[in-house]
Structure formats: C-alpha cells, structure tokens
Amino acid sequence: MQHIRKKSTQGWREIGGKRCYFRSRWEANYARTLQFLKEYEKIADWEHEPETFWFEAIKRGVRSYKPDFRITELDGSHRWVEVKGYYDAKSLTKIKRFRKYYPNEQLTLIDSKWFQKNNRKMRSLIQDWERD
C-alpha cells in the first residue's frame, strides 16, 4: 500500500515584505487579508506572533499564550487575532487565561465560519490566496 503524503500547509511565506512562518494556510491567508486592509488604509499595520503573554500565577499546565496577530488600528490602538481551525482543551485554556490575566487586551477569534463566509470574495480580491 502506497502512503500518500498530504502537502504541508505550514511554512515560510513572504507577505507584504514580511517573512513569517505560518502554521496553516488559514494563518497565511488571514495575513494576506490584513496586508490588503493595510494597503487600503483600513488598518495601520499587522504583525505575526510578536508577543508572548505569561500567566505568572500559573505553576502547572498552560503558562503562556502567543496570539497569531497583533493589528494596529489607524488610531494607534491595537487588538489581537487568533486563527484556529479547531479548539482543543489546551487552546481553550490559553484563551480563557489570556482573557482573565489580560482583561484590557481585545482578542478576536477567526475560525472556519469566517473562511466559509469570506473565502470566495477574498480569492477574487487577493493575489496568491491559497485554496484549501
């Protein structure tokens, strides 16, 4: 029996002059969306995994969290975005602790529903959009 290896979706990509290691096509495509928004002056900038948040009071288990994107808005404020295909127990714990220990930080979750809603439109607007 021949083993068929699925092409990995992880890897380095350059988007908007930024070379980043993305863990999925969804992360890479969301970065393309952010670059599109930046070029059309809807956001000021975006960064991929620029900061790790530590949960100092936690001694075991999930002790840190690194959101996928920091988006800087036109007014200078920022928000965080997590792109996830599914949420396992560890992912849910990270998000729960982030919201508890960093209540002033805004976190948006992007999942399969976002991609189902936006995939077709983005594919026609954004060059190099990767298909699932």
Q: For the chain, report the end-to-end CA distance as a whole number of angstroms.
A: 26
Q: What are all long-range contacts of 84-88, with beta carbons under 8 Å and residues at least 24 apart?
A: 84/109, 84/110, 84/111, 85/24, 85/26, 85/111, 85/112
pLDDT of residue 8: 55
Q: What is the mean pLDDT of each run of 10 residues along the chain (132 residues)?
A: 54 97 96 97 98 94 96 98 92 96 97 93 93 77
**What does the pLDDT read at residue 9?**
87
Name 30's Cβ contacts closer than 8 Å, sequence gap at least 6: 68, 69, 81, 83, 110
37: tokens are: 């928004």
Check residue 2 and give its pLDDT. Answer: 44
Q: What are the boundaries of each domain within the chain?
A: 25-125
> What per-residue confidence (pLDDT) applies to 4?
41
Fold of 25-125: Trna Endonuclease; Chain: A, domain 1 (3.40.1350)
